[in-house]
Amino acid sequence: MNIKDIKIERGNPLIMGATVVGDAVNFAINASLGSKCELILYKKNSAQESLRIPFENAQRIGTVYAMTISGFDYHEYDYNFSIDGNIVTDEYAKALNGKKEWGKVPESLRGIIVSDEFDWGDDAPLKYPFEDTILYRLHVRGFTKHSSSKVKHKGTYRGIIEKIPYLKELGITMIELMPAYEFNEVKAEEYTSMRGQFSIQNPVLNYWGYTDGYTFAPKSAFSSESNPGDEVKEFKTMVRELHKNGIEVSMEFFFPEGSNPNMIRDCLHYWVMNYRIDGIHINCEEAVMRLIQTDNLLCTTKIFTYSFPSDTDFYNANRGTRNLANFNDDFMVDARKFIKGDEDMLNNMAYRIKANPPGAAMVNYIANHNTFTLYDLVSYDRKYNEANGENNQDGAIYNYSWNCGVEGDTRKRTIMDLRKRQMKNALSLVLLSQGVPMIYAGDEMANSQKGNNNPYCLDNEVSWTNWNTTAIAKQILEFTKKLIAFRKEHRILHQKNETRQMDYKSFGQPDMSYHGTKAWFGDFSSFNRHFAAMYCGKYALLEDGVEEEDIYIAYNMYWKPQQFGIPTARDGKKWEVAFSTNMIVDKEKKEIGKMYFVPGRSITVLVAK
């Protein structure tokens, strides 16, 4: 290509990176005043320069250099920038050539000029409110990489598409992807010193993706396509197909400390506008989070973090929508302590199951990527992170776990029955509480990481989701499906507003009430390990005016059966057992009187029929 054959004009400095505008491409980069900036064009799939075009001083506004080029076929070229003689890969690049191979440092890296055109069909935002959201968190590669996944395109966006029937049957409404943009899973200096060899002693791989990278570009190593840039279409196809099946998509982003706030905001805008994602998960310093939570373009996008400030409800009230949510480690810790039978947990759990603040919603979970999985939570007393190569010094020290009597895998039936019951208890606490429930991928089928609570550097069967077909996996999966369906069927379990524990509509019962050995009296003494919560269905009238069923949930984490006082059901109805985490109760379904015994370490749910 000859520079005489193309047309160069002053560009738009508000559009950073390389942006297709009609038949032209706008290039813009930020550099220090007085820098010598050049655009480098490469013939597609070649590291050899085809043309260098200098930015003129007249093309600069502030410290942003911008030019528009027309008269060339941008599909045939990749690009980089040169600043004072140093080749720089565009941090705004929409796709990258050179990072297709997972776990390798590229010999050369070039930006790909991407058109945002895509056939979205009749795709439209789903916009489930938080009270109707059921979150499922996964790692794109790890979700389907295991041989047991039985998908054709393992470890890819297309692999997720293949699992849509499973996700739909499970009943979740949103998936959250751990970092799925072009993060640098290996560092050049570490890779070079080791000659590209990973080992238990030298784990330089950052499998999770919480590191630096190119946040505008989908990760090409997670694509099933072989041509650089095709990951853009594959990611959009994944979003479109998930939307068709009623499932939203959230993306997690990691921006290193000191990242430019404008770049962060531009990145989030780009993903929401061009990939139509429904949520973002981001953890930044408070000033940057304030910028994001007050952004008008993001005000209907779900925004997740860990610590939105207390004045969050002010912004939601002004917009008439609640789009902010905090991941709730406090729920996880208290729930773990409660199910293993720790003392003095009733007050905490009574609050956790009802917490549903008007400002930032609460996301409740029992396990996350940096903790024991649900199965490991009830199978190990200590962590086993030796494979990470840090002498078991990494990962959380306190896991609030209990192995139910034997450390690790066992064939003892009594132990395994107890573990199944404990997993069901944990899932019930999450899915029967008022906050937004989150399931970490694989927990619904008893996935294990063999006691590793921090497999950040492992890319193997430890960190991959195991699509178990064992008897225990099938039982937990079926229980999870029924639990999600039960939550969806009962609006009273996921209300828009937090319960008040008052009869504020004069229905004859409070919206929510606590009970214990005596009806209407919740004894939260430090030595107690059982309590019940009753929900008055009349406070969640259905759209057709029909009342919902009243629900009574008895939580008993003591190791022996406990007696519960049962209030008289309204309007001549009778209490029936809907389900229990104890199989014996679930099968018996005895007639319910004024007193009812709940087996040890179990949860029983009653409905008024």
Helix locations, 464-589, DSSP H: 471-489, 583-588
Q: Check residue 527 and report its DSSP letter.
A: T
Residue 167 dihedral angles phi and psi, to the nearest 5°: -60, -40
Chain mean pLDDT for the chain: 93
Q: pLDDT value at position 191? A: 53
User: H or E element: which one contains 37?
Assistant: strand 37-43
Q: Is 604:585 a contact under the CB 8 Å cutoff?
A: yes
Give residue 95's pLDDT band: very low, low, confident or very high (50, 70, 90): very high
Sole residue written with tokens 């890969």 = 89
Q: pLDDT value at position 468? A: 84
Burial class (CB in 10 A: 0-12, 13-18, 19+), 119: exposed
Q: Is 383:408 a contact under the CB 8 Å cutoff?
A: no
Q: pLDDT value at position 587? A: 62
Sequence-ordered list of residues with C-beta below 8 angstroms from that of 506, at least 6 positions apart, any chain: none
Q: pLDDT value at position 315? A: 61
Q: What is the C-alpha to C-alpha distance for residues 130 and 303, in angstroms, rounded to an integer?
A: 11
Per-residue pLDDT tens over the stretch 567-590? 999 989 999 999 999 977 666 666
Q: pLDDT value at position 203? A: 53
User: H or E element: which one contains 64?
Assistant: strand 64-70
Per-residue pLDDT tens over the stretch 289-340? 989 988 999 999 999 999 887 666 666 656 678 899 999 999 999 999 999 9
CA 236, 240, 242, 246 torsion-angle sign: positive
Q: What is the C-alpha to C-alpha distance for residues 258 and 314, in angstroms, rounded to an integer?
A: 28
Sole residue written with tokens 């005489």 = 4
User: H or E element: which one contains 602?
Assistant: strand 602-608
In sequence order, what DSSP letters do the residues of 114-146 get, joined into one string? -------TT-------GGG--EEEE-HHHHH-S
Sequence-ordered list of residues with C-beta below 8 angstroms from that of 127, at least 6 positions apart, any chain: 278, 300
Helix locations, 324-435, DSSP H: 329-339, 346-352, 374-377, 413-431
Q: pLDDT value at position 200? A: 47
Give residue 189's pLDDT band: very low, low, confident or very high (50, 70, 90): low
Q: What angle do CA 386, 388, 390 make, to 5 degrees?
A: 75
Chain centroid to CA 504: 36
Per-residue pLDDT tens over the stretch 124-173? 889 999 999 999 999 999 999 999 999 999 999 999 999 999 999 999 99
